[in-house]
Structure 1
Amino acid sequence: MTRHVTDWLGAYLDGELGGLRVPRVEAHVAECARCQAELDGLRALTVLLQESPPAEAIMPAERFVANVGLRLRDRPGQSAPQRAMEMGWRLVPVGLLGALAFVQSTFIVTWVVRVALWMGWGGSFAARWLPVSRGEWLVSELLSLPGASLAEAAGVILRFLGNGGPLGWSSTLYLVLLVLIGLLYWSWLASWWVRRQPHRLGVRDEAG
Structure 2
Amino acid sequence: MDFFKIVAPVYDTAMKITGHNKTLAELVEHINLQPGQSLLDLGGGTGQILEELPGDMGLEVIIADPSEAMLSRARDRLVKLDNDARDSSEPGLEAELVEATGDALPLADNSFDHVTIADALHHFNNIEETFVEIKRVLKPGGQLHIMEFDPSTFFTKFIATAEGLAGEPANFYKPELLGAMLEKVGFGYNYRYITGSIYILTAE
**TM-score interval, normalised by the smaller of the two chains:** under 0.3
Question: TM-score if structure 1 supplies the norm length?
Answer: 0.18
More strand by share: 2
Higher normalized contact order (CA 8 Å, seq sep 6+, divided by chain length) = 2
Larger Cα-atom Rg: 1
TM-score by length of 2: 0.18
Greater helix fraction, Structure 1 or Structure 2:
1
